[in-house]
Amino acid sequence: NTPFHAEKVSHVEGDYQKIYNAIAEAIRDNDEYDDYIGWGPVLVRYAWHSSGTYAQASSGCPHATGGSFGGTIRWPKELGDGANNGLQNAEWFMKKIHDKFDWISWGDLVTLGGVTAIQEMGGPKIGWRAGRKELSADNAMTSRLPDASKDADYVRHLFARMGFEDREVVSLIGAHALGSCHVYAPLLPGQKKPIPGSGYTNRWTASPNYFTNEFFKLLVDDKSWHWKEWDGPKQWENKDGLMMLPTDMALVQDPKYKKIVEMYAKDQDLFFKDFAKDFQKLLELGIEYPKETKTFYFKTLDEQNI
């Protein structure tokens, strides 16, 4: 029940490595974005949001829908979904890359951006396959992405719709070691009025632009979590002013999720191995690839001495 068939592409790994390098250099050269968190985290969220609209075939809907295949997150209807607040910035960043490499499909570009960001922030190598295409705005998907105010049962159900089980859900949400939450999205160059973010606020982790298992350690080791006293949406806060969303804290409120959080808090290598597999699965939801399609593993800038 994969609704979309990837096309056989004419470009080779080296061509995509050039785009990887352009994205990676743009991340490195614009490090002041979002108070020096940089562009990495929002590009990861952009790739995840373009993919997380996927729904398996169900009694309600006879065939699978959504996912990253058509690059439909670019269309105002999908990008304008409240859950995507702030991702206009990622779109602005990626348009500048697409101007230089207009041969790549938007669906491939968005997911390649997520892979590049994870690897350039010290994360594991993520396998990536080309062949997504451009679908029109009437394929845009809304109100499929998760609501952060909910509990563990809601999270389990929402990710089951995408075909993920408990261990995959926990590893994927481990990406919340990265980046921040924003009442208003960071200003773009020349922008006067900020656009709304998710409405949550955050002081970030100690290393918001390095991919680590710190999210899990914070959940397990820190005993100071309490409800934040403020007039914004309910969220948790610890003694250092760090935050957790209700759906983050749900991962240690639910006994099954909690066992997995403790496992990743103790073993960063295991987290990296699982995340690499699960993030590729997320970015490829709903897509069938020709059997001879090669999986590319890109080199980081450091590995190329660039």
Ligand X SMILES: Cc1cnc2ccccc2c1N
288: which DSSP letter?
E
Query: Is 11 annotated as catalytic?
Result: no
Q: Which of residues 147-186 bind ligand HEM (CB under 6 A)?
A: 148, 155, 172-173, 175-176, 178-182
The one segment of 18-26, 104-112, 113-121, 199-207 that binds ligand X by CB under 6 A: 199-207
For the CB of residue 291, give the shortest distance to ligand HEM in the complex, in Å.
Answer: 27
Q: CA 79, 82, 87 angle in degrees (round to 5)? A: 45
Distance, CA of 151 to CA of 141 (rounded, Å) = 23
Active-site option among 48, 75, 204, 236: 204
Q: Residues with Cβ < 8 Å from 57, sequence gap 6 or more?
A: 1, 63, 64
Q: Which of residues 51-90 bind ligand HEM (CB under 6 A)?
A: 86
Q: Which is nearer to ligand HEM, 9 or 274 (CB)?
A: 274
Q: Residues with Cβ < 8 Å from 245, sequence gap 6 or more?
A: 148, 149, 176, 181, 200, 235, 236
- How many residues does this entry show for the chain? 306
Q: Which is nearer to ligand HEM, 236 or 279 (CB)?
A: 279
Query: Is 182 annotated as catalytic?
Result: no
145: which DSSP letter?
S
For the CB of residue 188, give the shortest distance to ligand X in the complex, in Å.
Answer: 20
Q: Which of residues 211-250 bind ligand X (CB under 6 A)?
A: 215, 218, 242-245, 248
For the CB of residue 244, give the shortest distance to ligand HEM in the complex, in Å.
Answer: 11
Q: Which two tokens stand for residue 185?
A: 């999205």
Catalytic annotation, residues:
49, 204
